[in-house]
A and B are shown apart, each in its own frame.
Chain A
Amino acid sequence: MTTFIIRRLIQTVITIAMLSFVCFYILSLMPGDPVDILASSNPHITSEDVARLKALYGLDKPAYVRYMNWLKTVITGDLGYSRTYKIPVSELIGPRLANTFFLSLAALGLSILVAIPLGIIAALKQGTKFDYVINLGAFAGISVPSFWLGIVLILAFSVWLGMFPAGGTFTIGAGELSGWEFIKDRMKYMTLPVLSLTALQLGSFVRYARSSMIESMRADYIRTARAKGLSRLTVVLGHGFRNALIPLVTVIAISFSFIFSGAIITETVFAYQGVGKLVYDSVIANDFNVAMIAFMISVAMVLVMNLVADILYGYLDPRISYG
């Protein structure tokens, strides 16, 4: 087990390192470099100045040299300076991470709470109208375009019903709110994004919960448990569900990557100030330092969650051995 964890850990680190170079190279292919952008907004800069500035900042060097320079400064803890936000990246990224973390966690929690009971009931009532409706809903959830769902939610709940704000993270100009007021304000802005992310995630969770439950209810130990005369509730929850949980845990841990992808769109649609929106905004605005760090953090988070899922799987299911 330990060797397995160490191997996976090394593998994850290598993937992240390789990806950071690929990403660095790809981002360097984005239209315009910092000096070009600077020059285009200032008519007094001559082309000699541009060349001199590029040489000064090492922008005339090939991508791998620039990457090594970037890596050296990042390792020392200097994440660079944001061109559009005018603050150091390290100050920018913290609150954004917290925002995305709360959003994803709320959506994940809500979708688990809703999906697992629905999936279990659908599995037990397999082939009935209820099962049919749940299935249909699950398919719709998997197939709905995330941004459109966001737009529809905005249309319904903020344009027509006026119940929630159409976008944002907190009330601007409300001053320092304390305690309960602060939480209430945040909740008001988080409701629609959380609903939207939950709806996207619900479909696949319900489907997995249902099929995994069906699978486990067909097993021999269920027949044994029934034959022992255990109550239906004990059989379903104690024997059926406990075994169905094993594949579900992995699915949920891996879904973090999906939630993160969904969060980019959801945060952008709802103007929610999270890391996902930061990735998108910085790519659009050519804010290289921010884009690089925001992207690497999101990818690293997903990869680490995958690693956690793998390890968790081993602990939950003693039948799996790692060679």
Chain B
Amino acid sequence: MSFQDTEEKSKSMAQMVWEQFKEHRLALISLFIIGLFIIMALGAPFVTKWTGISPDDQNVFSRYLPLMSKSEVSADDTSNRLAASVNTRLHILGTDELGRDVLIRLVYGARISMGIGLVVALISALVGLLIGSLAGVYGGWIDTVLMRVTDSLLSLPLLPILIVFAAVDLNKLPFFASLVENQSQSIFKLVFILCLFSWMTVARLVRGSILSIKEREFILAARTMGASRAEIIITHMVPNILAPLLVAVTLNVGQSILSEAALSFLGLGIQPPIPSWGNMLFNAQEIITQAPLLAIFPGLLILIVVVCFNFVGDGLQNAVDPKALRR
């Protein structure tokens, strides 16, 4: 009966949100920029294909090249040294301390940094959804225990905890050691740690919305019509929680990108040679007088992307909250 009804209503709700969202000009621009960055990240392998530059190509003879400079690379170092197959490569943003192209590393760094941000936000949203709804729906001692844990975790200073957890040697935990091979171990570890400490806001939010929805008439109506608990949760509660959840996830992406960058900068996150925006800054401080620009670019990209995610989150917040000010 009401199935078609809700379908239509949720669609119009999405339209309303979109219309309201469009009013927030900065949020709209931010969404566009994020889109560009995602396309760039996805297209990274194609960039390598076209230009022939890969992020791991080291070249001792072309270290610290300035912007828009060219380096000469012999096509095949060992066998073809005498052949005249020397081609030049253009380094738009110059090269770093190992002669690697900065631009291509930034492009590949976008894959890691934004990928981790998005994955962490999504996983922690799922975890938060699960814990928040368990607490909200069942109440009682489950609620008390879960919310105590959530509050305790929320009150902790994030970074010291992340540093201590990130320093763990996974090989001492036999279960994890067998789970992943060495190359991507640091990525897996970082995602796991970040997820561990970023689900709490979502859980609180979900629990809060469920508690307020629980008492509403349409839930009572559904219950009197004999709907099961699962049915009520899936068809009535989830759509109502979705809007604030979306806001929280968006803001979480920015936060996760910042955390990843901070840990990688400290040398505890993504391990080289895999480039991430954070670990590109790892030794930027030591060579700051020789190559100040190496320290500028990755941080600038982090700033831009995180600002964009925060603006989109703000725009969504305004759009889904009927009490929010109309701009």
- Whether, in the assembled complex, A198 has its beta carbon less than 8 Å from a beta carbon of chain B, the answer is no
Residue from B161, B266, B289 within 8 A of A268 (CB atoms): B266
Q: Decide: A140 near B307, CB < 8 A? Known: A31-B169, A152-B299.
A: yes
Q: Which residues of A contact B171 (CB under 8 A)?
A: 31
The answer on a CB contact under 8 Å between A299 and B157 is: yes
Secondary structure of the B contact surface, majority rule = helix
The answer on a CB contact under 8 Å between A302 and B265 is: no
The answer on a CB contact under 8 Å between A284 and B167 is: yes
- Whether, in the assembled complex, B147 has its beta carbon less than 8 Å from a beta carbon of chain A, the answer is no
The answer on a CB contact under 8 Å between B285 and A269 is: yes
B residues lining the A interface (CB < 8 Å): 26, 152, 155-161, 163-165, 167-169, 171-173, 254, 258, 261-262, 265-267, 278, 281, 284-285, 288-289, 292, 295-296, 298-300, 302-303, 306-307, 309-311, 314, 325, 327
Chain A, residues 119-139, CB within 8 Å of chain B (1/0): the string is 000000011000000001001
Residue of B160, B167, B172 with most partner-chain A CB within 10 A: B160
- Whether, in the assembled complex, A257 has its beta carbon less than 8 Å from a beta carbon of chain B, the answer is yes
Residue from B160, B262, B281 within 8 A of A295 (CB atoms): B160
- Whether, in the assembled complex, A151 has its beta carbon less than 8 Å from a beta carbon of chain B, the answer is yes
B153 to chain A, nearest CB (A): 10
- Whether, in the assembled complex, A171 has its beta carbon less than 8 Å from a beta carbon of chain B, the answer is no
B197 to chain A, nearest CB (A): 11
The answer on a CB contact under 8 Å between B262 and A146 is: yes
- Whether, in the assembled complex, A306 has its beta carbon less than 8 Å from a beta carbon of chain B, the answer is yes
Which 4 pairs between the two chains have the least Cβ-Cβ distance?
A148-B299, A261-B159, A143-B306, A31-B169
Q: Which residues of A contact B310 (CB under 8 A)?
A: 139, 142-143
B44 to chain A, nearest CB (A): 21
B120 to chain A, nearest CB (A): 16
Residue from A139, A147, A276, A283 within 8 A of B311 (CB atoms): A139
Interface size range of chain A in the complex? 35 or more
Residue from A143, A151, A268, A298 within 8 A of B295 (CB atoms): A151
Q: List 17 A-B contacts (CB under 8 A).
A: A26-B165, A30-B167, A32-B169, A139-B314, A145-B278, A148-B281, A148-B303, A151-B295, A260-B159, A260-B160, A261-B157, A261-B160, A283-B164, A284-B267, A298-B160, A302-B155, A303-B156
A170-205: which have CB < 8 Å to B? none
A79 to chain B, nearest CB (A): 18
The answer on a CB contact under 8 Å between B169 and A29 is: yes
Q: Decide: A151 near B284, CB < 8 A? Known: A29-B173, A144-B303, A284-B267.
A: yes
Q: Which residues of A contact B327 (CB under 8 A)?
A: 127
Q: Which residues of A contact B295 (CB under 8 A)?
A: 148, 151-152, 155
Q: Decide: A15 near B152, CB < 8 A? Known: A29-B173, A152-B299.
A: yes
Complex Cα distance, B302 from A143, in Å, reads 8
Q: Decide: A19 near B167, CB < 8 A? Known: A142-B310, A145-B299, A155-B295.
A: no
Complex Cα distance, B288 from A159, in Å, reads 8
Chain A, residues 282-323, CB within 8 Å of chain B (1/0): the string is 011000000100010011001100100000000000000000
The answer on a CB contact under 8 Å between A23 and B164 is: yes
Residue from A15, A145, A284 within 8 A of B258 (CB atoms): A145
The answer on a CB contact under 8 Å between A159 and B289 is: yes
The answer on a CB contact under 8 Å between A147 and B303 is: no
A134 to chain B, nearest CB (A): 13
A165 to chain B, nearest CB (A): 14
- Whether, in the assembled complex, A27 has its beta carbon less than 8 Å from a beta carbon of chain B, the answer is yes
Q: Which residues of B contact A260 (CB under 8 A)?
A: 157, 159-160
Chain A: CB-nearest residue to B161:
A299
- Whether, in the assembled complex, A235 has its beta carbon less than 8 Å from a beta carbon of chain B, the answer is no
- Whether, in the assembled complex, A244 has its beta carbon less than 8 Å from a beta carbon of chain B, the answer is no
The answer on a CB contact under 8 Å between B164 and A295 is: yes
Q: Which residues of B contact A217 (CB under 8 A)?
A: none
Complex Cα distance, B168 from A299, in Å, reads 19
Complex Cα distance, B266 from A284, in Å, reads 9
The answer on a CB contact under 8 Å between B164 and A27 is: yes
Q: Decide: A306 near B281, CB < 8 A? Known: A159-B292, A260-B160.
A: no
- Whether, in the assembled complex, A279 has its beta carbon less than 8 Å from a beta carbon of chain B, the answer is yes
Q: Which residues of B contact A145 (CB under 8 A)?
A: 258, 261-262, 265, 278, 299, 302-303, 306
Complex Cα distance, B210 from A96, in Å, reads 45
The answer on a CB contact under 8 Å between A291 and B164 is: yes
Q: Which residues of A contact B261 (CB under 8 A)?
A: 145, 147-148
Residue from A142, A151, A284 within 8 A of B281 (CB atoms): A151
